[in-house]
Structure formats: C-alpha cells, structure tokens
A and B are shown apart, each in its own frame.
Chain A
Amino acid sequence: MKLIIAIIQPHKLEAVKKELEAVDVNLMTVTNVVGQGRQKGVTEIYRGAKEAGGLLNKIRLDIAVNDEFMDPTLSAISKGAHTGSVGDGKIFVVDLMECVRISNGDRGGKAIG
C-alpha cells in the first residue's frame, strides 16, 4: 500500500479528479494549503510596504492506494495537473503500513478502495 501526496495548482483540481476517476481511483482527501516553489512565491504590497515571498495557494491531495494502482494514479495526476510551466506541483509517494475502514473494521488492502 502506498500513500500518494500531491501538491497541485488549485485550478487543476477538477481535471485531476476527472483523470483519477478514469483509472477508478475515487477516494481522496483534499486540503487547501499554501506554499512556495522555485519561483519563490509572490510579492504583496500593503501601504507601500513590500513583502516578497508571499506564499501561493495550492491544493493538496492525499490518496491511499494498493500497489498496483500506484502507477495509474501518478500518471492520472500528472496528466490532469500538467501545464508545463513552473508551479505545476509535486507528487510524493510513501509506504503505507496499515489502513482501517472505520465502519466495518476491515484492514489492509481491502479497506483502501
């Protein structure tokens, strides 16, 4: 089992969801986050005081999958979130030790989907 954490552009959420549904990945957690990448955020100005490095809005997806779903999921996110310019985001993958479905107590791979 893997936990896939993707940071994407907010306006690409719908496209990513569509691609994920096409490969039968339907369960995800979505959060608003802020961050900066190589472009070092934006400059904000308040009453003449410049503040460089203001953080940009991003969307974070947390998706838990069984191993055979990992590659299709990574491809789907990449395809949906891609524009080709800086700031498109990143995807991280970590090993997942356990998964519990709270409603019926299922554990492991069968609890994920």
Chain B
Amino acid sequence: MNSGDTAWVLMSSALVLLMTMPGLAFFYGGLVRRKNVLSILMQCFIILCVISLQWVLFGYSLAFGPDFHGIIGDLSWAGLNGVGAIPNKDYAATIPHSVFMIFQMMFAVITPALIIGAYAERVKFSAFLLFTILWATFVYDPLAHWVWGTGGWLKSLGGLDYAGGIVVHVSSGISALVLALLLGKRIGYNHRPIRPHNLPFTVLGAALLWFGWFGFNAGSALASDGIAGNAFITTNTATAAAGLAWALIEWWHNGTPTVLGVATGAVAGLVAITPACGFVNPMNAMFIGIIVSIVCYIAVAIIKGKLGYDDSLDAFGVHGVGGTVGSIATGLFAEKAVNAAGADGLLFGNAHQFLVQGIMWIAAAIFAVVMTFIIFKIVDAVIGMRVEEKNEIVGLDLTQQSEAAYTVIE
C-alpha cells in the first residue's frame, strides 16, 4: 500500500465528480434555452445520486466483480461486500480496493450524464430516470467489464483504453446518436434558431471539465507516478491544441473565432486524448488534439446539418466522434517507450494493436446501438420517452420540475 497513490486517487475521484456536477451540468445547461436549464442541472444532479447508489448496490460488482465468461462480473461484490481496505492486486496493487471502487464510481456517473446532450429539451423526467438506470446497468457495466474488468474479453484481447475513450465516450456518444434519431427533432428545429441561453455558463462548465479531467486521465494511472505525470501533460497539450485548432478552423471557415468554438474544441480534445493519454508522448498528443477538432468540426458544423438529426448539444458529435478519433489514435500512436505496461501502435510497427483497437470500437458501437435501441423501446412503451408537445413548448423546467430558473417579474 502506498499513501501517495491512495491520496492521488482519492483526490482524482473528487475531480471526476466535479466534471459531472457542476462541470458538465453547466456546459450543457448554458447551451439550452432558458426554459430548460433547470432540467439539465436536475438530470446531472440526479444521475450523480442514482448511479452512486447503483454502483454501491450492484453496479461495481457487475463491472469489476469476479468474471462470468468474459462478459460480466458476478454479484459477489454486491453491496461492496469484501471491497475494503485490502488492495485488489488485479486492479491496483498499491491502493485500497475501496479507493479503486470510488474512483470508478465517478466514471459510471458521468457516462450516462454525457448522453443528456442528445435528448435535451424534450425528454420526460421519469423516462429519463428509468432509461438512465437501465443504460448504466445493461450498457455501461458490461462494457466496463469487457474492457477493464479482470477476465473481460476485450481486455483479454489486449485492447487499450486508458481512461475510457471506448467505455465512456464511444458508448455514450453512439448511444446519444441512437437516442437523437429515435426521439426525433425538437419542435422548431431547422425552422428557427435554437440559441444557447447562457454561453458564460457553458464556458465555465468547459473550464471545470478541463480541470476535472486531470483526475479522470492522470488519476487513471491509479498511482502517483511518471505515467500519471505523462497523462496529465498529454491531456493538457491535446486540449490546448484542440481548443486553438477549433478557433482557427472557425476563423478560416466563418470569418470569426467563437468562444463556444474554443470551449467545444477543448472538450473534443479532452475526449480524444482520454484513451491515449497514458500511452502517447506529448507531441503526438498535440497532433491528436488538432486532428480531433478538424474531424469533430466537420461532424458538428457540416455533416449534422446535412443529415438533419437533432443531437441537441452534440453529445454524439463531440463524444462519439471524438472518442472514435481517440481510440483510433491510440492504435496509431501508443508506444511502450511511454508506458511499458501498454503496447506499441501501428506507427511503432505493431499493426496488431491497431486491429485490436478497431475490434474494440466495433464491439462497443454495436453493443451500444443494440442495447440503447432495446432500452429506448422498453421505456417508451412503459412511460413514453418524450414530453407532450405543449410541455415541450412551455419548457421542461416548469412542466417536469415545477420551477423556473429566472424570474421575469419579482
């Protein structure tokens, strides 16, 4: 046991919590119209509550518990039975097992929260709640087991996902696209502008995401060591490159750089470096940051408009696409010189790793599409996913929460 490692992972757990609430909540909250801002804050806050409990009750055991045929953990760690001060050597030999568990809990919390961006401004609160619990249990927990759990089939195959490019961002981003397609467009989408109501909130949220992401990525070293330091540096470098690149692309394409563009680019950079941060060097991180902004800009500003689906806050365009770029980049740029526990990528002569990364992406994407489709259909049949038209027009704050964010008349 190492007290420095334990302190860093506990600190990182708190940093990752900050990413969901208030980071993501305000990033998304600023992007919606003023009548829906509380619905976003409420969804993020409730996810933090509900998934924290799900994780203690059975989620952690399903994801990381003793393996069942490579596809899921069994329930022997339900209620955190046996998850205590003694380290689990398979996951993190130098910190208490319970500390590893709480760090992973914060990942389980933020992943379904990312999906909010796809159904924002039109989902029924009760349906959102049921969807989230089912998605966390039947998509996130198994996928985390495949990629990170001892005995998980993708882990056994040699797949690399340092801090969750596949498990967190591809899974949530692809699911977000499915939801956006199934749920349909917001009323008035494409006919009149749906403008962000508070960009300062969004910028504040993006800055908090960047800050918290140091816990997400450098914390994933599960130790206070040189690999954590490298992950910290690659995270910052890729994010800086992506934020700047997005602004420059806009400047060239539209004539003006926007603050929403810098914030969006930075988040795309954070997403893309996530699977790679512990395996690549800082110069390649810079390259990954530039590439992800180019690809995500095309996805969000050009392709989305042409295809016409309404991914309200670009959960797919940033997390799905950015996570895909990052996962492929990991297969290209990973090198054992950075992390001996990792592998060499295609550019370092190991085509096999590139292939494995591809298999991992395809498996995660197919699983996310199929399961999200099934869960959507179930919840839609039982409760109905979308609010009634008049409630959507009035806004979710008043109709789902019976409160208003901003008073007009005292």
Contact = CB atoms under 8 A, between A and B. Distances in A.
Nearest to A52: B193
Contacts of B156: none
A45 interface: yes
B335 interface: no
Given A44-B193, A54-B193, A49 B258 contact: no
A11 B43 CA distance: 40
Interface string A40-74: 00001111111100100000000000000000000
Interface stretch (B215-223, B248-256, B348-356, B377-385): B248-256
B161 interface: no
A47 B264 contact: yes
Contacts of B282: none
Contact of B301 (A44, A49, A51): A49
A44 B254 contact: no
B196 interface: yes
A110 B300 CA distance: 62
Contacts of A46: 195-196, 258, 260
Contacts of B193: 44, 51, 54
A102 to B, nearest CB: 19
Contacts, number: 31
Interface residues of A, number: 9
Interface string A17-57: 00000000000000000000000000011111111001000
Nearest to A51: B193
Contacts of A49: 301, 305
Interface residues on B, range: 10 to 19
Interface in B158-208: 193, 195-196
A47 B261 contact: yes
Contact of A45 (B250, B305, B314): B250
A86 to B, nearest CB: 21
Contact of A48 (B195, B196, B250): B250
B302 interface: yes
B27 interface: no
Interface in B202-250: 250
A46 B195 CA distance: 8
A47 B196 CA distance: 11
A51 B253 CA distance: 15
Contacts of B314: 47
B309 interface: no
Contacts of A47: 260-261, 264, 300-301, 314
For B193, B256, B314, which residue has the most chain A Cβ atoms within 10 angstroms?
B193
A70 B250 CA distance: 50
Contacts of A50: 254
Contacts of A51: 193, 195
B302 to A, nearest CB: 7
A44 B300 CA distance: 16
Nearest to B256: A45
In order of increasing CB-CB distance, the 8 nearest A-B pairs are A48-B301, A51-B193, A47-B300, A45-B254, A47-B301, A46-B260, A45-B258, A47-B264
18 contacts: A44-B195, A45-B250, A45-B254, A45-B256, A45-B258, A46-B195, A46-B196, A46-B260, A47-B260, A47-B264, A47-B314, A48-B250, A48-B253, A48-B254, A48-B297, A48-B302, A48-B305, A54-B193
Interface of B: 193, 195-196, 250, 253-254, 256, 258, 260-261, 264, 297, 300-302, 305, 314
